[in-house]
Amino acid sequence: MSHPRPFAITLDPGSSLHNHTGTWRTQRPVYLNRLPPCNNACPAGENIQQWLYHAEEGHYEQAFHALIRDNPFPAIHGRVCYHPCEDACNRGQLDQPVSIHAVERFLGDEAIKQGWLPPAPAPASGKRVLIVGAGPSGLSAAYHLAMLGHKVVIYEAGPLPGGMMRFGIPKYRLPRDILDAEIGRLATLGVTIELNRPVADVAHDMAAGGFDACFLAIGAQLSKRTEIPCRDAGKMLDAVSFLRAVESGQEPVRLGRRVAIYGGGNTAMDAARTARRLGAEETLIIYRRDREHMAALEFEADEALQEGVVIRWLRTIKQMDDSSLTVEEMELDKDGWPQPTGRLEKLEADTLILALGQKPDSGFLAKVPGLQFDKEGVLKVDANLMTGYPGLFAGGDMVPGQRSVTIAVGHGKKAARHLDAYLRQTRYCPPPKPELASFGHLNTWYYSDAERSRQPVLDLLRRTSSFSEIHAGLSADTALFEARRCLSCGNCFECDNCYGVCPDNAVIKKGPGNRYEFNYDFCKGCGLCAQECPCGAIAMENEKI
Amino acid sequence: MLKQIEGSQAMAAAIAMCRPEVISCYPITPQTHIVEALSAMTKRGELGSCQFINVESEFAALSVLIGASATGARSYTATSSQGLLFMAEAVYNAAGLGLPIVMTIGNRALGAPINIWNDHSDSMSMRDAGWIQLHAESNQEAVDLHLQAFRLAEELSCPVMVCVDGFILTHAYERVDLPTQEQVDAYLPPYDPVQVLDPAEPVSIGAMVGPEAFAEVRYLAHHKQLRALELLPRLAEEFAHGFGRSSGGLLSEYRTADAETIVIALGSVNGTIKDTVDELRDTGMAIGAVKLCSFRPFPLAAVRAALQKAKRVIVIEKDLAVGLGGIVASNVRMALRGLPVAVHTVIAGLGGRAITKVSLRRVFTEVHAQSESFAEPHFLDLNWQVVEKELARQAEQRRAGPTAENVLRQVNAIGTRVH
Amino acid sequence: MSNTRVKFYQTGTFTVGNRLLDDSDRTVQSRPERTNSLNSGHRACQGCGEALGARYAIDAAMRAANNQLVAVNATGCLEVFSTPYPETSWQIPWLHSLFGNAPAVASGVAAALRAKGKKDTKVIAQGGDGGTVDIGFGCLSGMFERNDDVLYICYDNEAYMNTGVQRSGSTPAAAHTATTQAVGSQPGNPFGTGKSIPLIAMAHGIPYVATASVADLHDLEAKVTKAMGVTGARYVHVHVPCPLGWGCDPSYTLKVARLAVESGLFPLFEAEYGEVVARTPIRRLIKVDEYLKLQRRFQHLFGEPGQPAVIAAIQAQAERNIKRFGLVEKGEAK
């Protein structure tokens, strides 16, 4: 019963597809990946957005594997990293940043619980690499070099691996079973750690061990000192030794009843809070500048204060007696440096712990030709973390720059890459960084409102009377929720917005995991897709006319 | 079956037998009895699943049918005069889309001034819209033409107007031979649309057509009506076989064989004309009449053939092309182009004024006698006194007041005075 | 949030789709098998809100009707840009008759389907504000009064856009159009009494009336789907920005529509048999200025000296809507 259509008045479907409206365009949309600010801020170079993407789906093992491609220690970092990623997190401009560290910790803890291991490393290269120091930098380098197929041996001077993670950071922040579990994973990659094995002559040990290259990561384990006249030398100790002694369970230093800590950095906070837990009746931090200028992170000071630590700002110590300190009040000048006022006071204290900064114990390297040090013994390295001696790389607290576990871990990865290139006689050129996915690129309307999750915190009484971990981790549900707060800045998460808002049906949906493609035959270049992309993964480019 | 029945009722009965599926209704004198009858029939369930829709205007009435017809339903409505104008946009639209809608026009004068009585000004206003226009002479023919109209419309995919003189036919009680359902079913098969809205086979109907194709579309519409010139006589012949009487066709001739003077007209006035022709024939005048049934398409060849042997033709028409004169007469002149036949235009019956045998006889006699003083066009029975007085008054006073009121006052119809 | 299943979905009900969502919670537009009732190749301007709104509404209706749908379209932008001979971008059975008769034509289609016993085929009539609010008003009212089984969808871009941006009964106060230009002592469209067809539809007591915006896809689809499940006369009024006529960047079409809703100027609500039964609350309340200043048709209200009294009057309109429909939930006034 089908008749021929009346001419021109009646048209068959599909006839508009001959009209390629793409010829109207003066600009075209392109899909791109922009650099999420969290990735950009992470000293360890983690692809945070990527592992959060997997975590959002509940694919925790996949998330774990994405994470450890860059950083082998999620359970540790979720506890000790100062999370510059969260400071940079765009969500912070919307409501509160994503609690990235909490999700990272959840993944790390889950991996330990489930026994997940890194994938098989690359085929053996036949090269051997020596690493001096089993702190975060050395362990990270070991991990990456082992994954690249090299045989790695670590010489650690101390009785246990971990460096500052074990001997600097207190247990209440990083439980030792977690630390041991994550370090223990390296053994599955064939990494050997020789404990109680200090290095006095690097060149000799390298030759003797048949090593083709070496990475130095001895940290900064010497305390800086200052001249304070003191009657009884036994009542004054340095924070590094103090914390190491507490850790190794040696005969604990006899702490007095009133412990003073001199310094304003994180180590000072750690020392004070440890002293508190060891039973000091009073714990007092003395710092020559004020809160605004202190080196310690805000939360460290806050937690210390909560635990009853008292802080005396703007004081320097002139003299120490049996049971008291003489301090001078300071004033900050216009540049923020403390100047003496001449006003003195006495503070009751019978123990003084100095936390005035640290420097590397790098004297043994003096005989290595080509190396350059600053006056504190910090070893200079080039942009590839190589020292002046070919094949000798260094990183962590012993090289110039800021100091943290994460930065050290980042050095380990970077050095491993360049060291690997050195061994293969090639160059490692990091790929160019894409444009930053700043807040202005986002369309935040589309994100559901959600407040940041809070981790449960141990009550104060238990905190101050034990070394139990203060912060608990997130449950699986909450971790999932938190991961889903991620805005996926600059990276498509398949929300279908572009596919849906195109008035010309010019976006092709390729299927789950395969994102989208523009149909440039019909795209008129209106820019709605770019405007409505929540995460800023579409840019408009001018057409060449 | 023979019945003494009001014209509207007879038409309604016939339309009902055509098995319409959607009927829309908006009331306007003098067609309303038709749709009222159909409404009662639908409500009593006599029309099966037919949907009767009371709409809010004539524009809606025809629009509803456009939708219904495009969906493949046999569709019908009726209107007159102002109503036809109100749906004018839709009238052109239905023809342009090629939808086989059948509509009865109860011919009535167009205002202003408002007038409810019969003339042909309404259907004439839509003569170029692309609808086929058929005029009925009697209520019998009115019944028969509706059957033929559905058949014609659906075969051509072209809408058809069946024009019946308001009051004269619609409200007259006459003897009509109503067909049976079987006869109608045999003559009119179910509607098989050329295009239809169907989810199984989607199409877009009603595209915008620009200069590159518009002329071709219009030519095809014109060609469709030219095809009707062949189809109409065939359908009339088929009708004659099935129903046993002559009805419709392009035109029919009455005593024209040896006529010197032939009268031609549309609609019911043909009855009066034939009576007058008979009277004059009795006096020995060689006069005949042609009843024109199809006004659109205008049957140029058939009219020429019927009139070419006459010396003179008198066109009686119930309409006026203001500023020009006769509409039917102009069309007739076109048919007789090149022939030495004199065509006389007689404008008669405007606004329902009765056309009497006496007046017709006077006109026919004058024309037959080739009186040179016969005006062109001739306004039958016009009261020249009233007109001249009004023209003089208008010349005197600039602000002359409403023409219609003044005329009425002059004929003493109203008592008010205009200052 | 339950203990066992996390219900939070990052983008939840705001984006078109979401890889984390259950299939049943996804929009029609997110599906690769969506009908694309209005397909590529049409001649709408870049960023046309009406093209988008039409595809949204008709795709949702097609899914609800199991692809048994017929659409009748009034003359206007949508009709002209979608069917210029020889191209049509409609994938569904579609009829265009005249400017003012879409509701009546659709009533006829519905009647024919009823006569033929085709109960499953549904009818939609659609038109712009011109064809609905002005020239089609009579036919629309007739359709409502008879309760014909038709869903009428009006795409309101607030002027006769197809003919070059002339004022319609839906043009908001103070807007510049070609026939209410921003010149003279009272620039732009005068403050009339307004003509809310949704409220007029409610006065007819028809079974379902809703307002929707092209900026809120989930809401629009839910309303069209709900309407398709109701028999009788139904009316959905969709707010669709016209970048050309409103004078905003084509990429801002959805942003502007969103701001209209968030300011209260375009309230989202549903009504049944003449009573308001639901409203979509404003998520982030804003002042009308934020909405107006993105559009060149209102630019004469800003600058030195501007028309602050006019802006205040428009703000008052928005606040009346907020109050009347309860658009801001208690304790949320920002």
Q: Which of C6, C7, C283 to probe the A interface (max A CBs under 10 A)?
A: C6
Q: Which of C15, C45, C73, C258 to probe the A interface (max A CBs under 10 A)?
A: C15
pLDDT for A156 beyond 70: yes
Query: What is residue B376's DSSP assignment?
Result: S
Which tens digit of pLDDT belongs to each residue from B25-66? 999 999 999 999 999 999 999 999 999 999 999 999 999 999
Dist CA A143 CA A189 (whole Å): 8
ipTM score above 0.90: yes
**Average pLDDT of span C139-165:** 98
Which tens digit of pLDDT belongs to each residue from A273-319? 999 998 888 999 999 999 888 989 888 899 999 999 999 999 999 98
Show which residues on chain B lie within 8 Å of chain C, measured between beta carbons. 21-22, 24, 49-51, 53-57, 59-60, 63-73, 75, 89-90, 93, 97, 197-199, 201-210, 212-213
Cβ separation C217–A530 shorter than 8 A: no
Assess if residue C187 is contained within a domain: yes
Cβ separation B203–A13 shorter than 8 A: yes
Assess if residue C2 is contained within a domain: no
Which tens digit of pLDDT belongs to each residue from C19-62? 888 888 889 999 999 999 999 999 999 999 999 999 999 999 99
Dist CA A204 CA B38 (whole Å): 116
Domains in chain A (CATH in brackets) are 22-33+492-542 (3.30.70.20), 37-118+460-483 (1.10.1060.10), 128-222+359-423 (3.50.50.60), 229-357 (3.50.50.60)
pLDDT for B99 beyond 90: yes
Residue of B nearest to A7 (CA): B217
Asked if the C-beta of A17 comes within 8 angstroms of chain B's C-beta atoms, the answer is no
Asked if the C-beta of C108 comes within 8 angstroms of chain B's C-beta atoms, the answer is yes
pLDDT of residue B413: 62
Q: In angstroms, what separates the C-alpha of A503 from chain B's closest C-alpha? A: 20
Q: Considering only residues 255 to 294 of chain A, which have any Cβ-Cβ distance to chain C shorter than 8 Å?
A: none
The CATH T-level fold of domain B251-379 is: Rossmann fold (3.40.50)
Residue of B nearest to C89 (CA): B204
Asked if the C-beta of A14 comes within 8 angstroms of chain B's C-beta atoms, the answer is no
Asked if the C-beta of B112 comes within 8 angstroms of chain A's C-beta atoms, the answer is no
pLDDT of residue C287: 98
Confidence of residue B406 (pLDDT cuts 50, 70, 90): confident
Cβ separation A500–C90 shorter than 8 A: no
Greatest alpha-carbon pair distance for chain B in Å reads: 72
Q: Neighbouring chains of C at 3+ CB pairs within 8 Å?
A: A, B
Cβ separation C83–B209 shorter than 8 A: no
Which tens digit of pLDDT belongs to each residue from B74-87? 999 999 999 999 99
More confident residue, A100 or B419: A100
**Average pLDDT of span C190-206:** 95
Q: In angstroms, what separates the C-alpha of C80 from chain B's closest C-alpha? A: 7
Q: Which two tokens stand for residue A341?
A: 């006022």
Which tens digit of pLDDT belongs to each residue from B337-385? 999 999 999 999 999 999 999 999 999 999 999 876 788 999 999 999 9
pLDDT for A87 beyond 60: yes
pLDDT of residue A232: 66
Q: Which residues contact B54 (CB under 8 A, 6 or more apart)?
A: B24, B25, B26, B39, C146
* Domain chopping of chain B, boundaries: 2-243, 251-379, 386-419
pLDDT of residue A227: 83
Pick from A44, A32, A156, A29: nearest CA to A100: A44
Cβ separation C83–B208 shorter than 8 A: yes
Q: In angstroms, what separates the C-alpha of C122 from chain A's closest C-alpha? A: 19
Residue of C nearest to A12 (CA): C88
pLDDT of residue B138: 98
Q: In angstroms, what separates the C-alpha of B133 from chain A's closest C-alpha? A: 22
Which tens digit of pLDDT belongs to each residue from B300-321? 999 999 999 999 999 999 999 9
Which tens digit of pLDDT belongs to each residue from B258-301? 999 999 999 999 999 999 999 999 999 999 999 999 999 999 99
CA distances to A518, B177, B182 from B2, in Å: 74, 4, 16
Cβ–Cβ < 8 Å for B65, B22: yes
Q: Do domains B2-243 and B251-379 have the same CATH topology?
A: yes
Mean pLDDT of chain A: 93
The count of other CB atoms within 10 Å of the CB of residue A345 is: 12
**Average pLDDT of span C134-148:** 98
Cβ–Cβ < 8 Å for A324, A348: yes
pLDDT of residue B405: 77
pLDDT of residue B417: 53
Dist CA A99 CA A458 (whole Å): 18
Whole domain around residue C137: which residue ranges? 22-325
pLDDT of residue C4: 41
Which tens digit of pLDDT belongs to each residue from A447-493? 988 999 999 999 988 888 888 999 999 999 999 999 999 999 999 99
pLDDT for C332 beyond 60: no
**Average pLDDT of span A258-269:** 93
CA–centroid distance for A130 within its chain: 24
Assess if residue C312 is contained within a domain: yes
Dist CA C115 CA C117 (whole Å): 6
Number of alpha helices (DSSP H) and beta strands (DSSP E) in chain C = 11, 8
pLDDT of residue A234: 58
Question: What is this structure's pTM?
Answer: 0.92
CATH number, domain B2-243: 3.40.50.970
Considering its fold, how many domains does chain C have in total? 1
pLDDT of residue A340: 93
Confidence of residue C1 (pLDDT cuts 50, 70, 90): very low
Could you please report the per-residue DSSP string of A184-250?
Answer: HGGGGGT-EEESS---S-HHHHHHHHT-SEEEE-----EEP-----BS-GGGEEEHHHHHHHHHHT-
CATH number of the domain to which C102 belongs: 3.40.50.970
pLDDT of residue B419: 46
DSSP E strand stretches across B159-223: 160-165, 173-177, 204-205
**Average pLDDT of span C255-273:** 98
Q: In angstroms, what separates the C-alpha of B22 from chain A's closest C-alpha? A: 22
Confidence of residue B189 (pLDDT cuts 50, 70, 90): very high
Cβ–Cβ < 8 Å for C222, C246: no
With a pLDDT cut of 70, the percent of chain A lying above it is 98
Residue whose pair of structure tokens reads 């068959």 in the numeric block: A12
Q: Which two tokens stand for residue A117?
A: 């291991």
Dist CA A118 CA C119 (whole Å): 62
Which tens digit of pLDDT belongs to each residue from A46-70? 999 999 999 999 999 999 999 999 9
pLDDT of residue A289: 92
Which tens digit of pLDDT belongs to each residue from B193-202? 999 999 999 9
Q: Which of C18, C46, C67, C255 to probe the A interface (max A CBs under 10 A)?
A: C46
pLDDT for A1 beyond 50: no
Mean pLDDT of chain C: 94
Asked if the C-beta of C234 comes within 8 angstroms of chain B's C-beta atoms, the answer is no
Q: In angstroms, what separates the C-alpha of B193 from chain C's closest C-alpha? A: 13
Confidence of residue C334 (pLDDT cuts 50, 70, 90): very low
Enumerate the residues of chain B whose CB falls inside 8 A of the CB of residue A2: 201
Chains B, C: CB contacts under 8 A, how many? 164
pLDDT of residue C99: 97
